Structures are given as structure tokens and as C-alpha cells.
Structure 1
Amino acid sequence: MTTVELTRFRVRPEQVEELLAARPDMLKDFAADRAGFVSARLVQLPNYEFLDIVEWATPEAYAISREKGPNLPGIARFFAAIDYLVTAEEGTLTD
């Protein structure tokens, strides 16, 4: 069953461009380093908030990714642009 990671976070206005510029390299690093990474979509919300919707092949793949944290440059650059975490949830894709 596909696990879905829903992470909502806020970015300072002056960091939005950096976040978006860092996104492609973060996705490349995820694809290269995160077994079980399926896909990711980033949704821009009002007030400099974003929702990152990431699909993982299994809950275990997601857990291992969380443990690795920002271990590669592209991931670290993307994470560094985030001001603070609003919410983080995990669910199972049902369709």
C-alpha cells in the first residue's frame, strides 16, 4: 500500500524563490537516495505556506527517509529554505 506524506510548512517571503529553485535538486537526491520514493508534488498555499505531498511505496520507506534527513546537498538546500513546520501527517492512498 502506498504511503502518503503530507507536510505543510511556511517559508519566509524572501526564501520562496530559493525554495522553488532548490526543489529540482531535492527531487533528484530523493530519487537517487531514497528507496521506495514514488513521487512528490508541491502545492503553494496562501501566506507563504506550502503543502508537500510525497508518495512512498511503503511506510517503511518513508520511515527510513525520515531517519536520513537532509543528508544530501539538494535535500539540505530545500530544507534550509523552510522557516518552520506547520503540520506533518502520514496516510495511506486508498484509490
Structure 2
Amino acid sequence: MTTVEITRFRVSPQHRADLLATRAGMVADFEADREGFLGARLIELPGGEWLDIVEWRSSADFAASRAKGGNLPGIQAFFDVIGELVSSEEGTLH
């Protein structure tokens, strides 16, 4: 079954454009370097909060990705814009 990573975070208003500008590089790096990456959706919520929904082929693929962290420039650039992590969860798509 598909594993879903659900991450909620805050970005200050002055970094909103930076977040959007770095998104394509993050996704490209995930596609190149993260086994089992299926896709991602970024949702803007009120009050400077964002929801990132990432789909993985398996829980093991998600865990391997987490272990790599911001190992590539596009991924790290996206992570650097995030001001505060609100929550991070793993679920299963049925």
C-alpha cells in the first residue's frame, strides 16, 4: 500500500515566494534521489501554514528518505525556508 507523509509547517510571509521558488528543485531532487517517491502536493493554509502531502511506494521508502534529510541542494533550499515544523505524520492510502 502507498505510504503518505503529511507535514504541516509555518513559513513567514516574507519567505512565501522563496518557498514556492524552491519547490520545483526539491521535487526534482526527490525524483532523482529518493527511491519510491511517487509525488507531492503543497497546500497553502491560512496564517502562514502549509501542508505538504508526499506519497511513497512504501513505509520503508519513506524512512530511507527521512534518513537522507536535506542531502541535496534543492531539498535543503526548501527545508531552509521553513520557519517552524508544526507536525509530521505517516499514514496509509487505501
TM-score by length of 2: 0.99
Counterparts of 2:18 and 2:71, CA distance in 1: 19
State the shift of 1:73 in Å: 0.4
More helix by share: 2
Percent same amino acid among aligned pairs?
59
Runs of 5+ in structure 2 lacking a partner?
Answer: none
- Number of paired residues? 94
Counterparts of 1:85 and 1:14, CA distance in 2: 17
Task: Report matched runs for 1:6-25 at 5 Å.
Answer: 6-25=6-25
Counterparts of 1:76 and 1:15, CA distance in 2: 15
> How well do the aligned residues superpose, as a CA RMSD in angstroms?
0.4
Counterparts of 2:59 and 2:18, CA distance in 1: 30
Runs of 5+ in structure 1 lacking a partner?
Answer: none
Counterparts of 1:70 and 1:76, CA distance in 2: 4
What residue in structure 2 maps to residue 73 of structure 1? Answer: 73
SS of 1:62's equivalent in the other structure is: helix
Counterparts of 2:19 and 2:70, CA distance in 1: 14
Counterparts of 1:65 and 1:84, CA distance in 2: 20
State the shift of 1:34 in Å: 0.1
State the shift of 1:56 in Å: 0.1
Q: Which ranges of 4 or more aligned residues in structure 1 deviate by more than 4 Å?
A: none
SS of 2:47's equivalent in the other structure is: coil
State the shift of 1:32 in Å: 0.1
SS of 1:54's equivalent in the other structure is: strand
SS of 2:46's equivalent in the other structure is: coil
Task: Report matched runs for 1:1-95 at 5 Å.
Answer: 1-94=1-94
Task: Report Cα offsets for 1:10-69 as digits up to 9, x if no partner.
Answer: 001111100000000000000000000000000000001000000000000000000000
